[in-house]
Structure formats: C-alpha cells, structure tokens
Amino acid sequence: MIKFDNVSKKYFINQGVSRSLKELVPRMFKRPSLAKQTLLDKTEIWALRNMNFEIPRGESWGIIGPNGSGKTTLLKLLSRITYPTEGKIEVSGTIGNLIELGAGFHPELTGAENIYLNGSILGLTRKEIQEKFKQIVAFAELERFINTPVKKYSSGMYIRLGFSVAAHIEPEILLIDEVLSIGDLSFQRKCLNRIRELSKKATTILFVSHNLLSVQALCSTTIYLSQGKVRYLGDTQEAIQFYEEDTNLKDFSRMIEGTSPGERGFSRNEMEIGEVKTLDIHGEEKKIFRSGEQLIVEIGYHTFKPIPDPVFRVRVVRGDGLTCCEYHTRHDGYSIPLLDGKGIVRLETGTLKLLPQFYSLDISVWDLQSNLRYCRQVRKIIKIEKDLLREFEGEGIYKVEGSWSLLPSV
C-alpha cells in the first residue's frame, strides 16, 4: 500500500550552485546578514503540491503529464531518494526502482560483475542473484558478452542489461520511469510483457511514461500531473483524454499568438477583466463544446473608477487568425449605463454552428464609439467538437442548415 498524505516538495533552483565558501566567507566578514542571505535566499519551485492519494496493493497506476510536472519527483519521493518538504508518505512493501536503468553500472566492470553489483544495489542478495543469473543474462540476450567490460557495450546492450537486472528483482512495489521507450521494438514488447507478468503477481506498479499507449495497456488508474498538481486522478482513458486536450489547447494558444489580430492600439488602464468562465446551457463549466451548442461566457470585471457606457466585445477567432463572428453589447442591443466596482457580465450566444476547431474568445471593453479601450484584452481558448448527430462537416467556417429540393424540369 502507498499513501501520500498532503505531500509537497520544494526545490531551490540554484541549490548547490552558488553556495561555495568563496562567496560565503567574504560576505560573512562584510555583513553577516548578507552571508545568511547567500545561504537562504534561493528561488524556490514547488515540484509537487499537496499530493493526496492512496494506491491499494497490487494495482497498476500510470502517471502522465508534460515535462516538469513532477512525475519523476513523485517516484523519487516514493523510493526515498529525496524527502518531502511537507506531508507524509507511507509505504508498506519492498520497493524496486526502475528510475534509471543501469544506475550503478561501472564501465570498467564486466557484465557479470555489474549484474551482482547492480542487483545488490537494487536490494537482491547474492544468493538470489546467483539463482536468477542465467535468466537475467538470457533476458538481456547477452550470453556472448557477459564477461566483457560494459564500457565496450553498445547503448542498447547496456540498457537491456539494466532492464533485465531490474526486472528480475520482483519487489512488492515497482516504480518505472520512462524506460520502455528504449531498445528495439521486440525488446520493448518483451519488457512490457515482463511488467504484465509482475503485475499479475500482485506487484503494485507505478508507471511513468510519455507513451500513452503503454500507459493505457498497463494501468487501470492514472494520475495526470500538471505543474506539480494533480489535474486528474481516475480512469486511465479519461486521464489521457484530459491530458491530450490540455496539450492541444496549449499548442493552439501558442499558435494563435502569432496569427490573431490581437490587441490593437493603446488601452487605458481603467479596469481589469478577471476570471472568464465558459459554460454550457446547463451551467456546467467546460472548454469543449459541440458544434451547434449554445455557449455562455461569464466575464468577471473590476473597475478602478466608474466607467459610463462601456461596450463589451467578444470576438470568436479561428486558429489562422480569422474572426468568425463577434458579440458586442451595443450591436446586440444591450447597454450598460455605468460600470462600477466588481461584477460579472454574462453573454449567452445563440447556437454556435462553428466547424470543429479550436477557437479563441478575445474579450475586451471599449467606449461607446469603439475608439478607446478601457483594459487589456483577455483571451480564452475553447474547442468546438463535431456534432454527434451529423455525419459530415463539409468546408467553411460556419454551418447553417439549408434544405434542398429537386425542381421538376420544365
């Protein structure tokens, strides 16, 4: 069983870099307070924030997320390589750790010598290694080279040996970090099968990978991490979908940065647009809508002084920068006599029959003549998905149904 109880891990970015006596001692003489700062003043990063979960014995869990989201840190905390800044981790059972294959291999030693060394690093006794020695060598397909120093191995051979030793430790908890992407295809399959075998033997498995297919193949439950926080914990299928959508949204907003008309002209800093929510007609917040669905946009605002007759504009912009349509308080026949303090402006669109694509909602507030902008433009990305009832999408921007008929020829 593995239990994370409100676990956080903080790293200092320049830890260990600038802390040398050379810098410290002169400061100590000049100003003691400065010396203390050298030791303490470091930019900090929360690699993991408030992790709470419990993995029952024998389950296989996947961990996915972009680079730097805290996946490896999580495994390192689990295997006691590093320790949490806050919170508590409870683990019962022996831990096998595939964070780095062949960690502890020494280039000068032969394959056989390294098997014994690496095996004991991973917690096997000499006797256990002796029993499994043949199996390990056979699995790695290295019978001919086992008495050669590993410095003469190809990188593939090196990795195969590393995996083979690690895969034969049969711990109660197995941590795997991105190791299946190595080796050729047939070896990858072999690894995957070996992990499956272990999982059948009631080994608890934590599997970190960017290969979403193998996560899907191995794990029933998946944690999706983003910036050190749990974005989603649950069914693997859902977690992967979540992750893919987030990634797409991010890619899209990066793309549209260059193409969209964006902000034009100068804006006066008289108010601020706060949180923008996109909801469906039932009031549920979401970012993905079906084509033909109604869209509700709630725009939080905060004025610094009373603004008479403001105009709210929401432009719907496609990925290539084309403005597909615009909502505009005045054009839509709504007027706000005075905006003061904090509040929310709500827009309910008609059925949006945009074709499936990513769109950005560019929100801004103007004066009545649309000459002056009161605040910085705010952008929100949404995705329109295919209408389930419709089989074909066709081309264009917007879909308005037409009805066809065949007229009798004259």
Partner 1 sequence: MLAQIRLLWSYRELLSNLVLREIRIRYKQTLIGIAWSVFQPFALMVTFTLVFSLFARFPSEGIPYPLFSYCALLPWTFFATSLNRATQSLTNNSTLLTKVYFPRELLPLTSIITASIDFGIASTLFIGMLFFYHISLTLNIMFIILILVIQVIFTSGMAFFLSALNVSFRDTVQAIPLILQVWMYASPIVYPMSLVPEKMRYLYMLNPMAGIIDSYRRVILHGLPPDPRYLICVFFVAVTVFVLSYRYFKRKEIFFADII
Residues of this chain that bind partner 1 (CB under 8 A): 11-12, 15-16, 19-22, 76, 79-83, 95, 97, 99-100, 103-104, 106, 108-109, 113, 116-117, 120-123, 125-126, 149
User: Which CB, 95 or 311, lies closer to partner 1?
Assistant: 95
User: Which CB, 80 or 88, lies closer to partner 1?
Assistant: 80
Task: Characterize 178-200 residue by residue with b for buried, 16 or more Cβ atoms within 10 angstroms of its Cβ, and e for exposed.
Answer: bbbebbeeebbebbeebbeebbe
Torsions phi, psi for 161 (to 5 deg): -65, -45
User: Which CB, 15 or 220, lies closer to partner 1?
Assistant: 15
DSSP-derived 3-state class of residue 314: strand
Name the minimum Å distance from CB 164 to partner 1.
16
User: Which CB, 149 or 300, lies closer to partner 1?
Assistant: 149
Name the minimum Å distance from CB 344 to partner 1.
44
User: Which CB, 34 or 112, lies closer to partner 1?
Assistant: 112
C-alpha dist (Å) from residue 254 to 250, 258, 267, 300, 320: 6, 8, 23, 24, 12
For residue 125, the 8-state DSSP code is -
Name the minimum Å distance from CB 77 to partner 1.
10
Distance from C-alpha of 354 to C-alpha of 331, rounded to nearest angstrom: 20
Identity of the residue numbered 170: E
User: Which CB, 24 or 325, lies closer to partner 1?
Assistant: 24
Query: CA neighbours within 13 Å on the CB side: how many for 365?
Result: 25
- The distance of Cα 328 from the centroid of its chain, to the nearest Å, equals 35
Name the minimum Å distance from CB 51 to partner 1.
17
Name the minimum Å distance from CB 34 to partner 1.
18
Name the minimum Å distance from CB 152 to partner 1.
13
User: Which CB, 20 or 52, lies closer to partner 1?
Assistant: 20
Name the minimum Å distance from CB 95 to partner 1.
7
Q: Do 136 and 168 touch, CB atoms closer than 8 A?
A: yes
Distance from C-alpha of 136 to C-alpha of 115, rounded to nearest angstrom: 8
Name the minimum Å distance from CB 119 to partner 1.
8
C-alpha dist (Å) from residue 202 to 1, 156, 199, 277: 11, 30, 5, 44
User: Which CB, 5 or 113, lies closer to partner 1?
Assistant: 113
Torsion, CA 48, CA 54, CA 60, CA 64, rounded to 10: -20
Name the minimum Å distance from CB 174 to partner 1.
14
**Pair of tokens at residue 62:** 């996947």
Pairing of strands 342-352, 95-98: unpaired
User: Which CB, 12 or 53, lies closer to partner 1?
Assistant: 12
182-191 long-range Cβ contacts below 8 angstroms, 24+ apart: 182/101, 182/156, 183/156, 183/159, 184/156, 187/156, 187/160, 190/139, 191/163, 191/167
